[in-house]
Amino acid sequence: MGGLEKQIKSKDYHDYVIKDGKFIGAFEEMYRNIDDPWYHGDATAIQYDLALYLIGRFRICGGGGLVLDIGCGKGAFTARLKQQMPKAHILGVDIAPAAIKKAEQKYGNLGIEFKAIDIQKEYKNITEKFDLIVMSHLMWYILPNFRAIVNHLGKEVLKDDGHLLVNQAFYKSEEQKYGKEIISTVEEMLSLIRLEVIEMIEINRLSNHGAIVLFKNRPSKI
């Protein structure tokens, strides 16, 4: 990937991530070259508001706890998580050290811990137990290993009765060129995750479909 990164000078995030049905994955170079690659700004789009609404509705980590935000990027939504759950210890991780550096510079004073982690390679090395795991718009970028990763995290990293929040966009069948043999709908994503669905909110069903899904790790009965 290093040789490819040196060739990309675009301001369009597709050129670094997924383009024409092919996964590129040059996240580090993307964060170096583009100030706001996802056009998320300060993470105030409706899907982020709805994610926070679900966390608040079910009173998750209101009194404290451990939160893992995977794919935190430059930390804008991680900061909103901290504002909503000020007593929680929040760890934001991302594959790109450039993103983590920018997150620390902007939000490190909030008491958030940021760390560069390649979740595809290191997910089995996470030993802490978390009350809440957040995955915002991450699925497409770990897609070949999504099922293994999310179920390991759900059963081995989440505490009993802990929650997983997945905030994910889906695309029209004629627009999706990458990964449709694995997942192309919300229902297919849900079928791969072995956790109980507590609540789901869907938006933009007639265009680029969004789903904010809250799962719970019910302890196994003996």
- 189-201 burial, b for 16+ CB within 10 Å, e for fewer? bbeebebeebeeb
Average pLDDT over residues 181-202: 96
Alpha-carbon distance 184 to 33, whole Å?
Answer: 30
Round to whole Å and give the CA distance between 158 and 166. Answer: 14
Same domain membership, residue 79 and residue 9: no
Instruction: Please report which confidence band the pLDDT of residue 206 belongs to, taking 50, 70 and 90 as the band edges.
Output: low
What is the tally of structural domains in the chain? 2
Task: Identify any residues that bridge with 23 across adjacent strands, giving them in sequence order.
Answer: 18
Residue 40 lies in a domain: no
Which has more confidence, 105 or 204? Answer: 105
User: Alpha carbon of 59 to those of 37, 52, 56: distances in Å?
Assistant: 32, 10, 5
Are the CB atoms for 201 and 211 separated by under 8 Å?
yes
In a domain, 87, yes or no: yes
pLDDT at 1: 42
Could you tell me if 19 and 84 lie in one domain?
no
Are residues 81 and 183 both part of a single domain? yes
**pLDDT tens string 56-97:** 999 999 999 999 999 999 999 999 999 999 999 999 999 999
Helix axes 76-84, 97-107, angle to 10 degrees: 40
Do 11 and 101 fall within a single domain? Answer: no
Q: Are 9 and 61 in a shared domain?
A: no
Return phi, psi of residue 25, to 5°: 75, 30
DSSP 119-134: HHHHGGG--S-EEEEE
Q: What is the CATH number of the domain that holds 202?
A: 3.40.50.150
CB 214 within 8 A of CB 198: yes
Full domain range(s) for residue 21: 2-33
The predicted-structure confidence for 23-63, as pLDDT tens digits, reads as follows 999 999 999 999 888 765 667 789 999 999 999 999 999 99
For the whole model, what pTM was predicted?
0.92
